[in-house]
Amino acid sequence: MIVTDPPDSPIKKSSETSPPDQLQDAPSPPPYTSLASPSTQIPFVLPQNIKPSNFLSFTEAYNSIEGTHVIDSSLDIPSEWLPPLPEGEAEETRSNFYAKSAYGNVTSELYLLDKPVLKGRRKLLMNVSSTHASVSVCIHREGLSPPYNLNASSSYGNVTVRIPRSFKGLISASTKYGRVLMSDAVSGQALSVFSGLQGVKRIFIGDLSARNELMDDVIVLDSWSGTVKLFFEDEETSLLPTSLTGLFSRFFS
């Protein structure tokens, strides 16, 4: 479905809290350690009164997009009930969640149920973007599946993403005039750092020898002039000390 806010109607309040604009660099990240044990996982608690859905699509020109959604990738919705495909997508690559605003912020909190993807698909697909404002995405996942691909981008705003501690796969981040930052907890799980061309930085979280392109998670983050920030889902940036000393590692140069 496509949701358009009336000109004078307020948008939904979100529980997301935007992180501070300035971050103080910390020492280099510690060596890689094994993925967090189940005891370190936070409970998966679904929000009340939100029914599972699939193939959600939100598009705005000037308004912000904010919301909390439960995604069930096994829900088979008739194609005639679905909104028109965004540019660049085909039916077999239709996003399970799509949100795009030209001039407004996009703030999404997504709960991924432990359900199989539909036949003919391999992963759950999410695309979140804004042209002139900031993007903030928090992902909670019920288990180790489904594997997902997330693309989050903004041309002129910051991009902030929180991932589940069960994440396993490749993260690619790029910015032309900003910085790429991650929390110490995330950088402590990063096995390898790969520097690419044109300012693209890549890390892999998990066992590199056991990588599987069909089953691994993939995240692509991009901002032309903003800062890209990466946290785990349970890291509360609003409760951080003002100085932020030692919290963030400037993992990338």
Q: Work out the average pLDDT over 17-43.
A: 46
pLDDT of 31 above 50: no
Flag whether 38 is in a domain.
Answer: no
Q: What is the pLDDT of residue 98?
A: 97
Distance CA 18, CA 107 (A): 9
Q: What is the pLDDT of residue 207?
A: 86
Q: What is the pLDDT of residue 40?
A: 59
Return the higher-pLDDT residue of 136 and 191.
Answer: 136
| Cα-based distances in Å from 132 to 44, 155, 224 | 33, 6, 10
Flag whether 87 is in a domain.
Answer: yes
**What is the count of structural domains for the chain?**
1
Work out the pLDDT band at 79, boundaries 50, 70, 90. confident
pLDDT of 47 above 80: yes
Q: What is the pLDDT of residue 1?
A: 45
Flag whether 37 is in a domain.
Answer: no
Flag whether 9 is in a domain.
Answer: no
Query: DSSP letter at 237?
Result: G
pLDDT tens sequence across 179-227: 888 888 888 888 766 665 666 888 999 888 888 988 999 999 999 999 9
Q: What is the pLDDT of residue 214?
A: 86
| Strand ranges (E), the chain | 2-3, 52-53, 56-60, 65-71, 97-101, 106-112, 124-130, 135-141, 148-154, 159-163, 169-175, 180-183, 190-195, 200-205, 217-223, 228-232, 248-249
Q: What percent of the chain has pLDDT over 70?
A: 74
Flag whether 13 is in a domain.
Answer: no
Flag whether 1 is in a domain.
Answer: no
147 neighbors 215 (Cβ within 8 angstroms)? yes
Domain range enclosing 144: 54-249
Flag whether 24 is in a domain.
Answer: no
pLDDT of 37 above 70: no
Flag whether 39 is in a domain.
Answer: no
Following CA atoms 16, 24, 37, 124 in sequence, which dihedral angle do they give, to the nearest 10 degrees?
A: 50
Distance CA 153, CA 168 (A): 21
Q: Which of 184, 53, 179 is nearest to 111 (CA)?
A: 53
